[in-house]
Amino acid sequence: MSILFTFFRSSASFRVRIALNLKQIPYQPEIISLPNGEQVGGTFLAQNPQGLVPLYVDANGSFSQSLAIMEYLDEALPSAHRLLPSDAVGRARVRSLSMLIACEIHPLNNLRVLKYLKHELKQDEEGVNNWYRHWVAEGLQTLERQLIHDKHQSAYLHGETPTMADCCLVPQIFNAKRYECDLTTYPKLMKVFENCMKLHAFDQAQPNKQPDAA
Amino acid sequence: MSILFTFFRSSASFRVRIALNLKQIPYQPEIISLPNGEQVGGTFLAQNPQGLVPLYVDANGSFSQSLAIMEYLDEALPSAHRLLPSDAVGRARVRSLSMLIACEIHPLNNLRVLKYLKHELKQDEEGVNNWYRHWVAEGLQTLERQLIHDKHQSAYLHGETPTMADCCLVPQIFNAKRYECDLTTYPKLMKVFENCMKLHAFDQAQPNKQPDAA
């Protein structure tokens, strides 16, 4: 059986947990505690020199970076639920939406950045929270704007079945809720979020349903 | 002819300029001045609601996010120079290396983040530069570590021809040099950088050879 090195609160791990569920790929979770720094401990670092979760391991090798893992899963198991559309233009759109979240929002709000703000830039809790909410708002406003007037947006971010882009959106909304960001101004995104959360694949991947949830 | 909305100093635009050159796709550059805020001006925003460069436009549509554009170019013109390897495991590796740069380093150091540090967090020039160098060092150390025991790394980040990962590395090294980051501790990366810069496709894509360079 394949293995997913994961942490319940890691958004990038959450994305891959959804993707594995959508594709109905069974996996063994191996917990890497980020607060305990296990991702940069010697044992894990030997397996993933990037020192990040998730890491996905199957008979073909070890795979890092959540979007690269999802692309790989889709190529390795094309007969299961498709995470990317079948046409090149659609794939480009799904990748672009995914990267808007994965490259423009998430990197600014992960744990190591918040730690730097606190310890190096001496930001208090309010300063850190303002930073967090600022980048979430910038990113989600952009995403909401992109969806208005876009004929491809439907029940999900792209069409009538969930794609890699939805696997990125849902963990980002979970994070935004945790930091009490105002989400009322993103009706299109929140409708997609609701539709996703009705699906078993998304529901079962959420942080508080993981074995390492407190 | 296809159009690339670009800015000479934009790393993400630089990536796509290299990719277009490698694939020998002719294009018309349209300059979007980031310091003048043209990326969020009404005219451009109507074309790219993400409000970011690069934007690539051809007969099939408009394409945003540099990595998504490169994937699209490779799918649209498979007979030209391949930006991604032919095997799924190799593609996953190239995507992972690309995303290590595009998701873990670059987003922390782009213009809007540096502006926030200066104006909202009241960081002086030294504070901003320390931030910049910190994340470059973190990211490049990780990348160098990943290459050390990796049999796939050769003249380029993956094998004997440049891939999407090299299109991401070179602009990042240009940025690091501009901010006077110490690059002596990354011998493997710098060797790849040198090999890339010997190629016309990389050389001609560099910032100071663009029509909008000062």
CA B150, CA B152: separation in Å to the nearest integer?
5
Instruction: Please report which helix (H) or strand (E) contains residue B43, including its range.
Output: helix B42-47
Put simply, the answer to whether A103 touches B127 (Cβ < 8 Å) is: no
Report the residue of B44, B66, B100, B103 to disrupt the A interface, i.e. the one with the largest count of A CBs within 10 Å. B103
- Count CB-CB contacts under 10 A for residue A28: 10
Split at pLDDT 50, 70, 90, the class of A86 is: very high
Reported as a single tens digit per residue, the pLDDT across B201-211 is 999 999 999 99
- ipTM for the whole predicted complex goes beyond 0.95: yes
Burial A39-69 (b: 16+ CB within 10 A, else e): beeeebeeebbbbbbbbbbbeeebbbbbbbb
Q: Which of B64, B108, B116 sits opposite A96 (nearest CB)?
A: B64
Residues of B in contact with A91 (CB under 8 A): 71-72, 75
A70 φ/ψ angles, rounded to the nearest 5 degrees: -65, -40
Task: Report pTM.
Answer: 0.97
- What the block records as the tokens of A72 is 């790989």
Q: Could you read off the pLDDT of A141-172 as tens digits, one per residue?
A: 999 999 987 888 899 999 999 999 999 999 99
Identify the closest residue of chain B to A105 by CA–CA distance.
B107
Tell me how far the alpha carbon of residue A3 is from its chain's centroid: 18
pLDDT class of B130 with cuts at 50, 70, 90: very high
Tell me the mean pLDDT in the region A165-192: 96
Tell me the C-alpha distance between A23 and A29, whole Å: 16
Interface contacts (A, B; CB < 8 Å): 123
CA-based nearest residue in chain B for residue A134: B116
**Residue A35 has what pLDDT?**
87
pLDDT exceeds cutoff 80 at B61: yes
Please, which residues 96-115 of chain A have a Cβ atom closer than 8 Å to chain B? 96, 99-100, 102-104, 106-108, 112-113
